[in-house]
Structure formats: structure tokens, C-alpha cells
Amino acid sequence: MFCLALGEDAELRLLEARHAELLFALVEQNRAHLRRWLPWVEGNQSVADSHTFIRNALQQFANNNGLQAGIWFRGTLVGVIGHNYIDWSNGKTELGYWLSAAYQGQGLMTRACRALTNYSFNELRLNRVEIHCAVGNVRSRAIPERLGFTQEGTLRQAGWLYDHYVDLVVYGMLAAEWPRRPS
């Protein structure tokens, strides 16, 4: 199974069916926080919905089309990060991520994005990693900026967020630009 260390206190681990209750509880605790920027939150209303997400994520992994990993900090599930897809023909992927409000501001998501970007370039041998963030989501945008991604443009009204469209900023990193370093 997939597992990436983020230092001594944290790791990324592939989500499994047994994590559905933990995942749903985490979404419940952070519903208002997550709903502000993520369109899937209202569709996750039960443990069964989390089971479905995990089942689909495991199928995605089995199909070699990406992964969805739990972010574990000191043994506690605190967020999720993954490849939204992998475009093998063009050698690229897009990262998606979210973190519990209680664990923000500690550099944890930056470490997770660094590790998954390393994995994307060094293990999967992809050429490009993208991150799309809502223009107003300053905390999310700070992560690719901190990691040296290039802000490549803005996709106007590219994301539907419950009752309105939001503009998405596109950040890109190329394998040739990424420093070769351990996760």
C-alpha cells in the first residue's frame, strides 16, 4: 500500500474502507470550514458517503489514475490529499487537498504537497503537477506559492460552489524546475 513519511510526526497513507467513520467525523467537525471552498461537502452526509468516496479512491488507485491519501498527524486523521487524476498521455496531474481547521498554520499541508509532488516527479516520472485554488482562498494559494510553483493564470468562473461560480488560479510545476530532494 501507499505510504509517505512527512517527518517523524506525520505521514500520508492510502485511505481504506476502515477509515470511513473517521473521515466522515472529520468532515462533520469541519463542515462549515470546508464548505467555504469545496463543492463536495454537501454531498457527504453520511458514513456511507465516505465509504463511497474511499471505494472510488481505491478504484482510482487500482486503475493507476491517482490516489487519495489521508494525512495522519501523530496518529490522527487530519486531512486528505491526492491526485484528482493522472493524465499519462501528457505526463501531468492535479493535486487536491484539504485540512482540518484545527491543524492549519503548522506547515502540515505544505509538507504533504511537497511529498506528493516529489512522488509525482520522482516515482511516477510525471512532467507536470498543477494545483488549482479559488482566487479568494488565500491559505490554499499560499501552499503552491511557498513551494515555488508558478502562477500561470486564472480560469474565470471555472468552479461551481453551491450557488455561484468562482475563479480558479492555476499553479504549475515542471519536473525540470522541481528540486530533487527527499520528502
pLDDT in tens, 128-175: 999 999 999 999 999 999 999 999 999 999 999 999 999 999 999 999
Domains present along the chain, CATH in parentheses: 3-127 (3.40.630.30)
Cα 65 to chain centroid, rounded:
14
> Helix, strand, or coil here: 10?
strand
Residue 156, CA distances (Å) to 133, 136, 150, 171 in order = 12, 13, 18, 14
Which stretches of the chain score pLDDT less than 50? 183
pLDDT of residue 181: 52
pTM attached to this predicted model: 0.94
Distance set, CA 146 to CA 93, 113, 135, 138, 139 (Å) = 19, 10, 16, 12, 11
